[in-house]
Structure formats: structure tokens, C-alpha cells
């Protein structure tokens, strides 16, 4: 990828006749920036199969999708009613949810409501809301979202709705009346609703010039965002997800899901990549998704894919996939709850496909319903998913096999919608079907957040599950990582990775508290390794045991302090642990909130145990 970013706006204006609004604001530092934050945030690229910041550190992206509100008409295809609401949401996402990244949903229908005419007001509003997250220190990757192709395929009295394509795109085709038959789950429309199937087919085959129109609108959108953010802000925009959950609709005669990916989907991504380059996004990867059924965990849904025939994706692309436990959601195929290591194999497959493609991987959607008949599974399902993002080794085996842990996967939970339960959506424009409950879309209810009666953002899930320790930036490469969040299933505390009895002093130090353990090989640089510290780790009860030093209540960061704490950029009050290793050796750090004012003797004994463990278990 090109080492510098060159604006092609002038060429773009000549080609398309599209004019942006006023220019970018002058660059300003974020609150709580430290000396390494601006160079680190200058760009995010893919190197050696990992996300890498401007200082060469290995980066993990964690956060949420913002937001399913884009699927609705009530805020005209925007995640928020105002920039003020976007700022409120961003602050809460950082401070309560522990996120450093959002997948920011955009709507083709609202970006191009009239064919060939991009709505500059929509792009301005969307860019203003994106800026609210960037200014809170949160990285952003936009996504042109679609589900079931378009809401304009559905009748006013339909059981279901869609989102994505504008009305003119639907009017261009002669599609049958939508009907899904006996479909208890909205996703069945993808393969059973002839209107959805034929419209999707037409898009992928560029009937009526639909795909060309979409690509042109995407290019104009990206050019607008590039021109209306400062360079520092644009550095926080890390790439673009071209198309949500792609599916053929209908396969041609003799075509398979795999050949469709090779001959139809991948050429589309190459075209989108060229549009990114032309819009000034040449330093940023495309977050490309395979056929959405490639890693389904129900056998009759699974389809071969995973971009197997795309060759080496390389740094221009990120392997981007979704994962929902359809067995658990069905209420039939998984009668019990999730357990330790439940998704280790599923997420290992994502790691392996990304590695085979020579690029980084991300699970850009995962989640589970928080209301309805299967909502009781949510605490264990989500814990198991986060566990699988952290490591490919189940908790019961982690301490004995840390070197098999693998890279820490990036992920964006579905979803972060502050309006959850407070919507006023006219389903398919029907004034007699006003939806207010849940996510107000196809009976979904997955938002991790809501507003209370005072207008304050509050979590709907256990904070110990959502606000997690994770290595947001590693100066070198991660060897092993685990986090025991001690999240709850009702009144039961879930402990899937207890400290083994073979480490009695470490076990004593951790007690019943939360803990994380990172092992990494340092690159010897001066910038520190960073771990996000949840709100459950106040400084007074945070203890760190590392070969770099031991400390209870770590001091504030300085360049000469190897173990320290500081606020994360953005002024949200979120905090980070900073570990500075001056050499290029292998290091470890345990961070726990299980002890208050532990003795020097206990810290020393725990350090000795961890040093012996690392020497034995980590090569």
C-alpha cells in the first residue's frame, strides 16, 4: 500500500460532478494524549498478518457496531438523531463498554435516494457523527449495511423488513411480491424469499447498472469523509467494510458458493478496492466479508467459502467475518448453555483463514439475543465468544498450553444502540405498526446499552463481561493472552480459567478477582505495550506482577516507569496499563484486581512462580 495519502478530490469532481462541503478542521490533539499517541494513531495498516499502528505495534480492535438505528427510517438512515447523541454514545462506549473501535453503519438508500444524486446533507450528518467517535479516541471503520437487500422489497403489512438499497434500485427490477412462507427467523428470507433472492442476484450481476451505481456512491462517500476530517481524524478511520453479509441470492446453473465467491464476489471487492484508492483511502484496507454462510455452525446452513480462491489477500484487505451461534439462537439445536471453550474451534477457523490469506482477521459481528426464549443463554454465549477472541485455547487448558494461544482476535459486538426500547419506527412505513421495543427491527434485541429515564447511557449486560482487559497495542508480538472476567450468569459467577494449584501464590494474589495475563516478545522500541483497564480495575486495587516489575496501585506513566497507568486518549476517563520493555526479549505481565495492598513478600513470590511458569511453558 502507498506510504502516503494523496487526495484525488479534484479528479473525482471532474468525473462525477459531486462537490463536498467546507474543508477539514485544523488538527488538534485529543485530551489525555501522550507522546506516542499521535504517531500511533497516524494510520493503521496490516503487516505480517496483524493490525499495526504508526509505531509498528500490534493492535487489537475491540468494540461494537454503531448502530442498528441505521437500518431504521426514524433517524433517516443515521445511527443517531444528533451529533450530541453520538458524543454521548461514544463516551459511554469507551467508558462503560471498553471499546476502542466501532463499525459505523451507513445506508445506501439514504446516501443516494435519487439515482445518480448523492445526498450531501446525509454525508455531512454521518461524517459529523463519525467525528464524535474519533474525537473520543475511538477508531472507526464504516460499513455500507444491508439485510434482505432493501426495506422497499417488503409490503407495509409484512412480518419482516430489510435495509440497504434505495427505492429506485428496487423499482428497476420486476420482483415478485415478497413472501417467506413458514419463517420463524428473519434470516430465512435470504434463501426462501424470491423477491430478496432475485434482487440480490441482480445486484451481483450488475443488472440495471445497480452495482456500478453503488460503487460510484461508495466512492463519493469515501471522498467526502476524507475531505471533511482532519488528517489526524482521518488517521483514526481504519478502513471500509464494502458490503454486509454478501450472498448470491440465487446461484447460476453449475455455480457453487465457492465459485460464486471466486468469480462474482471477489471481482466486486477488487472494484471496491480501486474506488477506495481513487477516493484517497489507498493507505487503508478493505474489510472484506466472505459468503455469510461459510462458517455457519448448523450443517444444513453451511456453504463452502471463506475466500478460499482469492489467493493472498495481503495488506490491502482484511479477512472480515461474522459469527452467531445459530444452534443457541434456534432454541432447538443447543438445549443447554455455552461452556468453556465452546467456540474455540469456530474462532480458530477465522484465525486460520486470515493467516492463509496473509492478513489480519476480525469478527465484525457477534452477539446473542437479550430478550425472548433463548435470552437465558446470552451470558454464557457472549463469555465464550470473548474467550475465543482472546485465545484459541479453552480456559481449562490455557495455563498448560499458553504457547498455543494464537493471536488475539479483533471483534465488534452487535450492537451499541442507545435508543434500545425507545424507538418509534413505522415498520415498512406503516403507521399502524409503530415499533418501540428492543432494536425495532425484525424483533431483534441485542443492544448492550440503553438510556435510562434520566437520559444516561447504562449497560444492559454485565459490565464484567463487556468492559474487558485486552492488549490494545503490543510493542512486539503477542505470544499468549487470557482474561478471566468472572462475569455472571444470573447470580452465578462464571470462572472458566482459574489459576492452577501449581501456582499457589499467584492464586492467592488473584483470589476471587478478575485477572489477565499477557506474554509478549518485545521489539525493544520506546513506545509501551498497552492494555485496556476496565472500570472494575480502580488504581487502588490494581496489582501488576511482571518481569518488568511488581506494583500495587501502579504509578502514573513516565518514559522511565516500566509499569504504569494513564488515561486513554479522548477524555472519556477510560484507563490503560502501560508496560515499557527496553529490550527485545520475552516478557509477561499479570494484572489483577483480586488483592488490596498485597505484601511485598506475596508479590515477590508470585513473580517467582510466574517466571518459572513462563520459562517452562513459553518457548
All structural domains of the chain with their residue ranges:
63-469, 499-618
Let me know: does 351 contact 406? Beta carbons within 8 Å: yes
CA distance 349 to 290: 13
What is the rounded distance in angstroms from the CA atom of residue 448 to the CA atom of residue 382?
11
Number of alpha carbons in the 13 Å side-chain half-sphere of residue 128: 15
β 58-59/549-552 pair status: unpaired
Q: What pLDDT is attached to residue 232?
A: 94
**pLDDT for the residue numbered 386:** 98
**Residues 566 and 557: beta-carbon distance below 8 Å:** yes
**Any residues with CB less than 8 A from the CB of 243 and at least 6 apart, and which?**
144, 146, 268, 272, 289
Q: What is the CATH number of domain 63-469?
A: 3.20.20.80
State the Cα–Cα distance between residues 128 and 82, nearest whole angstrom: 9
Phi and psi (nearest 5°) for 501? -65, -20
Q: Cα separation of 63 and 476, whole Å?
A: 22
The set of residues, in sequence order, having a beta carbon less than 8 Å from that of 466 and lying 6+ positions away, is 96, 97, 98, 413, 448, 459
Whether 523 and 591 have beta carbons less than 8 Å apart is answered as no
Determine contact, residues 592/543, Cβ cutoff 8 Å.
yes
pLDDT above 70 coverage of the chain, percent? 95
Predicted model pTM: 0.95
pLDDT at position 596: 87
With a cut of 50, list the residues of the chain below it in pLDDT: 1-24
pLDDT at 26: 55
Peptide bond into 415 cis (omega under 30): yes
pLDDT at residue 5, as a whole number: 36
Distance CA 139, CA 163 (A): 25
Q: Which residue has the cell 450531501?
A: 120
For residue 203, what are the contacts with CB-CB under 8 A and spacing of at least 6?
149, 165, 169, 210, 211, 214, 249
Q: For residues 44 and 283, is the Cβ–Cβ distance under 8 A?
A: no
Amino acid at each position: 500500500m502507498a506510504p502516503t495519502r494523496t487526495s484525488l478530490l479534484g479528479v473525482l469532481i471532474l468525473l462525477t460532478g459531486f462537490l463536498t462541503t467546507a474543508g477539514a478542521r485544523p488538527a488538534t490533539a485529543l485530551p489525555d494524549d501522550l507522546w506516542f499517541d499521535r504517531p500511533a494513531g497516524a494510520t493503521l495498516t496490516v503487516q505480517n498478518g496483524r493490525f499495526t499502528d504508526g509505531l509498528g505495534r500490534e493492535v487489537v480492535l475491540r468494540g461494537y457496531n454503531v448502530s442498528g438505528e441505521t437500518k431504521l427510517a426514524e433517524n433517516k438512515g443515521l445511527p443517531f438523531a444528533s451529533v450530541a447523541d453520538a458524543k454521548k454514545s461514544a463516551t459511554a462506549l469507551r467508558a462503560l463498554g471498553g471499546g476502542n473501535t466501532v463499525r459505523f453503519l451507513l445506508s445506501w438508500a439514504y446516501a443516494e435516494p435519487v439515482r445518480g444524486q448523492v445526498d450531501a446533507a446525509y454525508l455531512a450528518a454521518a461524517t459529523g457523527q463519525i467525528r464524535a467517535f474519533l474525537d473520543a479516541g475511538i477508531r472507526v471503520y464504516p460499513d455500507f449495511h444491508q439485510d434482505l437487500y432493501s426495506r422497499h422489497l417488503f409490503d407495509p403489512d409484512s412480518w419482516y423488513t430489510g435495509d440497504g438499497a434505495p427505492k429506485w434500485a428496487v423499482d428497476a427490477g420486476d420482483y415478485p411480491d415478497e413472501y417467506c412462507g413458514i419463517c420463524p427467523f428473519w434470516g430465512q428470507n435470504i434463501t426462501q424469499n424470491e423477491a430478496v433472492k432475485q434482487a440480490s442476484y441482480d445486484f451481483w450481476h450488475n443488472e440495471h447498472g445497480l452495482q456500478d451505481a453503488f460503487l460510484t456512491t461508495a466512492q463519493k462517500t469515501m471522498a467526502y469523509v476524507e475531505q471533511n476530517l482532519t488528517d489526524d481524524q482521518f488517521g483514526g478511520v481504519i478502513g471500509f467494510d464494502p458490503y454486509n453479509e454478501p450472498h448470491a441470492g440465487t446461484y447460476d446453473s453449475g455455480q457453487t458458493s465457492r465459485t460464486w465467491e471466486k468469480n462474482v464476489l471477489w471481482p466486486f471487492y477488487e472494484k471496491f478496492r480501486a474506488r477506495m484508492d481513487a477516493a484517497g483511502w489507498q493507505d487503508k484496507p478493505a474489510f472484506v466479508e466472505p459468503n455469510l454462510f461459510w462458517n455457519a455452525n448448523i450443517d444444513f446452513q453451511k456453504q463452502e467459502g471463506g475466500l478460499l480462491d482469492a489467493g493472498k489477500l495481503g495488506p490491502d484487505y482484511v479477512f472480515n467475518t461474522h459469527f452467531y451461534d445459530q444452534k443457541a439462537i434456534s432454541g432447538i439445536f443447543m438445549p443447554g448453555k455455552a461452556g468453556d471453550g465452546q467456540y474455540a474451534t469456530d474462532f480458530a477457523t477465522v484465525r486460520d483463514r486470515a493467516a492463509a490469506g496473509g492478513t489480519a482477521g476480525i469478527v465484525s459481528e457477534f452477539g446473542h439475543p437479550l430478550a425472548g426464549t433463548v435470552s437465558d443463554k446470552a451470558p454464557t454465549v457472549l463469555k465464550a465468544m470473548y474467550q475465543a477472541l482472546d485465545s484459541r485455547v479453552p480456559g481449562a487448558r490455557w495455563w498448560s498450553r499458553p504457547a498455543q494461544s494464537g493471536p488475539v482476535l479483533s471483534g465488534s459486538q452487535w450492537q451499541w444502540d442507545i435508543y434500545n426500547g425507545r424507538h418509534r419506527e413505522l415498520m415498512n412505513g406503516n403507521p399502524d405498526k409503530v415499533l418501540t421495543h428492543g432494536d425495532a427491527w425484525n424483533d431483534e434485541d441485542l443492544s448492550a446499552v440503553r438510556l435510562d429515564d434520566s437520559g444516561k447511557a447504562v449497560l444492559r449486560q454485565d459490565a464484567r463481561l463487556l468492559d474487558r482487559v485486552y492488549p490494545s497495542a503490543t510493542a512486539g508480538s503477542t505470544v499468549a493472552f487470557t482474561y478471566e472476567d468472572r462475569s455472571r450468569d444470573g447470580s452465578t459467577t462464571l470462572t472458566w480459567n482459574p489459576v492452577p494449584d501449581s501456582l499457589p501464590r499467584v492464586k492467592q494474589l488473584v483470589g476471587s478477582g478478575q485477572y489477565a495475563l499477557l506474554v509478549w516478545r518485545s521489539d525493544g522500541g520506546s513506545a509501551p505495550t498497552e492494555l485496556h483497564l476496565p472500570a472494575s480495575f480502580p488504581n487502588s486495587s490494581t496489582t501488576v506482577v511482571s518481569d518488568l516489575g511488581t506494583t500495587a496501585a501502579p504509578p502514573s506513566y513516565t518514559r522511565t516507569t516500566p509499569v504504569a497507568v494513564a488515561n486513554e486518549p479522548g477524555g472519556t476517563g477510560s484507563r490503560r496499563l502501560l508496560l515499557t520493555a527496553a529490550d527485545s526479549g520475552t516478557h509477561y505481565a499479570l494484572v489483577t484486581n483480586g488483592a488490596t495492598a498485597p505484601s511485598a513478600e506475596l508479590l515477590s513470590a508470585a513473580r517467582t512462580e510466574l517466571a518459572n511458569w513462563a520459562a517452562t511453558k513459553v518457548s
